Chain A
């Protein structure tokens, strides 16, 4: 017997499963071009009978989605940049440098990794409010600039690099910052890429925190705006909501498809989405 003998019936089963997994997205995109009347038809249609861009124009002109799009992008880019810088620094220190309390610090980081976000969000909210950052974009960004997961990821990766590089750099008289920035950081490419993609997607899709902090409409991120619109007076504007969902999903899908190989490898090795 061979290791992998392709079985034709499995292809059929898997193809059906794949269609079931993808169908909601296809339906979402197609539905966003339909009119309200067509969306309420029974039985439902696949292709838009009278395709219209109406939903999108209303989304961006009347409902301010361009503002939310900008907010989401600013927050996600800032959070990603912060994680790339700070997580690699902390990870490097934990992996390569000797200082008292290193082990304790690492255990502390691991400990916070296990705490569910629900537990910290009330005191975090109080903290952010007390420093006057609630209802502001910095309030959405600052708490997430460094993450225990990112520190752990970078620490594991840097631990695998040869320590000799550090000694060589010191012998040659390079400053500590230079050793980190010029020798180690360029070697961290794959880990940084994984961290960057995961952080960007996580931030883009983040919901609970922006929902709590962004109290004013002008500070909403896309998921918050979409969730609140889906409950408010627009809750029956199906075309509008499907167009909103499309706007939230498509950038993420594009990034995912562009980087999918690196991404899936990252999941398999770290196990965290």
Chain B
């Protein structure tokens, strides 16, 4: 950890591995280089897009599934829970390979399904505007199961008496959900959004397998670009970039803590 901090201030390259004392300290140059690199800036924007759209979508799907399982049905709960959780445990690489075909323009399953309801699906991964939504769709599909399980545990802690009292006072199901369940779920919500956010800020496998960052760098992520610089042997620069990711993760986590805590 400290070594990578030091390395981010040096011009370490792959050939320097044998002679660790030959590297020069270059100060903030790597950071300046990273921020002035248009591709890295593009990667930051893409990552922000992925997180800002992906986290709420994943949270919403997780919450909807959890509430439906907890309150709506009595039988087969275990089966649905198991099914919804299954994608989480599978390898992202394998899932991404499969989704690459699902999102194909002509013979992909998703556009075929859209065709049934009369929608002419886009060329998901080949179109700079649709590639990122495609990746977000896949990530939400894969990850909402974790949130669902944690929300289910959180919902168990909501005292049923409050709901009965509110129902007697004439509050409908939606109002009870908004004013009783949601506020009590706030800590759970914080937890799920923080863990999902940390994961999404580092997304890597999805573009690596599905789009290779393209088309036109529209899906390159910060982690992926860091990996690419690492692959070129620019270790100092890669370390600096990974520190930028780390600081962003820390700041975003702190902001989420603030936001979800204050409104209680």
Show the binding face of A for B, using Cβ within 8 Å: 1, 3-7, 10-11, 13-14, 17-18, 20-25, 27-28, 31, 39-44, 112, 115-123, 125-127, 129-130, 201, 204-205, 207-208, 212, 222-224, 226-227, 230-231, 238, 241-242, 244-246, 248-249, 252-253, 256-257, 260, 263-264, 267-269, 271-273
Compute how far the CA of A126 lies from the CA of B205 in the bound complex, rounded to whole angstroms: 22
The yes or no answer to B257 lying at the interface (CB within 8 A) is no
The yes or no answer to B84 lying at the interface (CB within 8 A) is yes
Show the binding face of B for A, using Cβ within 8 Å: 1, 3-4, 7, 12, 17, 20, 65, 68-76, 79-102, 106-109, 112, 115, 141, 146, 149-150, 152-153, 160, 167, 191, 195, 198, 201-202, 204-205, 208-209, 212, 223, 226-227, 230, 235, 238-239, 242-243, 245-246, 249
Compute how far the CA of A126 lies from the CA of B230 in the bound complex, rounded to whole angstroms: 11
Within 8 Å CB of B107, what residues of A? 39-44
B97 touches A244 (CB 8 A): yes
A24 touches B95 (CB 8 A): yes
B83 touches A27 (CB 8 A): no
Between A and B, 8 residue pairs with Cβ closer than 8 Å are: A14-B68, A14-B72, A39-B101, A116-B202, A119-B1, A223-B94, A242-B97, A264-B149
Interface of B, helix, strand, loop or mixed by DSSP: helix
In whole Å, how far is A27's beta carbon from the nearest beta carbon of chain B? 6
Within 8 Å CB of B235, what residues of A? 122, 126
Compute how far the CA of A273 lies from the CA of B73 in the bound complex, rounded to whole angstroms: 26
Within 8 Å CB of A241, what residues of B? 97
Compute how far the CA of A27 lies from the CA of B245 in the bound complex, rounded to whole angstroms: 36
A208 touches B209 (CB 8 A): no
Q: A44-B109, A115-B246, A272-B195 are in contact. Are A207 and B1 (CB under 8 A)?
A: no
Compute how far the CA of A170 lies from the CA of B193 in the bound complex, rounded to whole angstroms: 46
Within 8 Å CB of B208, what residues of A? 227
Q: A21-B141, A119-B245 are in contact. Are A207 and B91 (CB under 8 A)?
A: yes
